[in-house]
Chain A
């Protein structure tokens, strides 16, 4: 029993963090943006468990609301990456031949470029809206997904049951969506779980540079960014957001790895 609990610890912790963030408006007695300038930055206390920032805002509240945004970016951008990657990989894998070669060469090429820099460039050129943040991050993270899906599709496209489906007169669309993709679900699920933390890391990175989420909204990356400015006087403003982010990412990665062990047998490193 005790072993089971340790084994599932990352998942439990993750669920607790996500739930707390989701229920933030009901859990916290403070509005996230309400300033109490007279209060100023206070170390952790009974009234403010994690202290307050320089505007007297409750840090725990801001952390929970920030978590909502960080997780939202993580999920949405992953969905974008999933959509592009799965479609790209499925088309290349199913059609095969020359189209496959060209499509995968494009993926190889994009892989080769220093991507973070392009994200920075995109954020500068197209402005800093949340929607764009999702798309920009998703557009960067789909490459590995496309490769994985394509390899899976190639592996099963010649199996007998696909042949049978074709003989029965199913359209290409039906074959791909009903027979091929469900059989690729394992790797897709695993890699999706592993994409969420890398997306969240990228968001934190952009927000840290001041290119991601904009105040008065807050994500963990932005809270860390603001915490850095006052890290010598008020270290808790940096410490707790950074801990929240690191713990969440660690849990997500561990859960993803467990899933990989469970669904794919041995763990062969595929993280880039």
Chain B
């Protein structure tokens, strides 16, 4: 087990290193650099000034030299300043990460809490009205664009009914109720879209398990149907579902770009988008790497969890 964790961590680190090159190169290839922005902001600047500034900041160096310089500084803990926010990158990044986690983890928990029982009930009574309902909902969930759902919710709850704020996040010191009111719509958007897929995973895993002999045995010895489903089958059906959920959990860190943008939720997705669009090199690179690293971590946890839950699986062998 220890060896497995070590090997997978080493692999994740390698991937991260490769990604840092790719991300740096992509950002470096973006049209325009900070000096171009300075020129457009200051009409008195001459091209000689610009060249001098590029010399000072090392922007005239080839890309790989810049990358190595950046890497050297980053490894010593100097991630640079964000151009857009005028603050050290980490000071901008960490609050955004926290906001994204708050949004995504709440949505994730709500979606799981609703979807797993729903999927189980649908599988326990195949071809019932509930089963068809869950199925249809699942298809709506993967067919509905997130921005459209978000806009519908805003139109209904903010514009028409006026119950909830249309966007933004409550200021830090605001009372809990106010915080929750701001959280409600973005969480509802993300959760609604995930419930469909999750309940379908649960439903198919449950159907698979209910076919087994030990379920027939449980029924034969006279266990009630409720006991068969919720005690005998439920735990076994959870194994594949938990793995899928853990894989999905990795994606939570990069945030929900569109949902965050529409609700002006100051999270990772929106931060990365703004940084990329605003030529904020330092911030974009570090934020992308952070999201990648956390996603890789989520996947590693998913692998371990899978082995932990199902003793038949041994780790370490090539799959």
Chain B residues touching A, majority SS: helix
- List the count of A-B residue pairs having beta carbons below 8 Å apart: 107
Q: A113-B292, A268-B208, A269-B201 are in contact. Are A125 and B261 (CB under 8 A)?
A: no
Q: Is B41 an interface residue (CB 8 A)?
A: no
Q: Is B148 an interface residue (CB 8 A)?
A: yes
Q: Is B147 an interface residue (CB 8 A)?
A: yes
- The answer, among A127, A209, A268, A271, for a CB contact under 8 Å with B142, is A271
Q: Are A242 and B148 in contact, CB atoms less than 8 angstroms apart? A: yes
Give min CB distance, A14 to chain B, whole Å.
Answer: 12
Q: Is A250 an interface residue (CB 8 A)?
A: yes
Q: Are A125 and B147 in contact, CB atoms less than 8 angstroms apart? A: no
Interface residues on A, range: 35 or more
A residues 98-127 near B (Cβ < 8 Å) are: 101, 109, 112-114, 116-117, 120-122, 124-125, 127
Closest residue of chain A to B146, judged by CB? Answer: A205
Q: A113-B292, A120-B276, A269-B200 are in contact. Are A250 and B143 (CB under 8 A)?
A: yes
Give min CB distance, B254 to chain A, whole Å.
Answer: 4
Q: A124-B276, A124-B277, A238-B151 are in contact. Are A253 and B145 (CB under 8 A)?
A: no
Q: Are B30 and A114 in contact, CB atoms less than 8 angstroms apart? A: no
Instruction: Please indicate which of the listed interface residues A101, A113, A205, A245 has the most CB atoms of chain B within 10 Å of its own CB.
Output: A113
Residues of chain B lying within 8 A (CB to CB) of residue A125: 26-27, 29-31
Q: Is B288 an interface residue (CB 8 A)?
A: yes
Q: Is B192 an interface residue (CB 8 A)?
A: no
- The answer, among B143, B258, B273, B276, for a CB contact under 8 Å with A249, is B143
Q: A250-B139, A269-B204 are in contact. Are A117 and B26 (CB under 8 A)?
A: no
Q: Is A83 an interface residue (CB 8 A)?
A: no
Q: Is B144 an interface residue (CB 8 A)?
A: yes
Binds B, one of A59-67, A173-181, A224-232: A224-232
A residues 40-85 near B (Cβ < 8 Å) are: none
B residues 244-273 near A (Cβ < 8 Å) are: 250-251, 253-254, 257-258, 261, 269, 272-273
Q: Are A253 and B147 in contact, CB atoms less than 8 angstroms apart? A: no
Residues of chain B lying within 8 A (CB to CB) of residue A120: 257, 272-273, 276
Q: Is A201 an interface residue (CB 8 A)?
A: yes
Q: Is A208 an interface residue (CB 8 A)?
A: yes
Q: Are A224 and B148 in contact, CB atoms less than 8 angstroms apart? A: yes
* Interface mask (B264-297 → A, CB under 8 Å = 1, otherwise 0): 0000010011001100000000001001100110
* Interface mask (A239-255 → B, CB under 8 Å = 1, otherwise 0): 00010011001101110
Give min CB distance, B243 to chain A, whole Å.
Answer: 13
Give min CB distance, B64 to chain A, whole Å.
Answer: 17
Give min CB distance, A100 to chain B, whole Å.
Answer: 10
Residues of chain A lying within 8 A (CB to CB) of residue B145: 201, 204-205, 208, 221, 224, 242, 245-246, 249
Q: A121-B27, A125-B31, A198-B142 are in contact. List 20 more A-B contacts (CB 8 A).
A: A112-B299, A114-B254, A116-B254, A116-B257, A117-B257, A120-B273, A121-B26, A197-B143, A205-B145, A209-B257, A228-B147, A231-B151, A249-B142, A250-B140, A254-B139, A266-B207, A268-B204, A268-B208, A269-B197, A271-B142
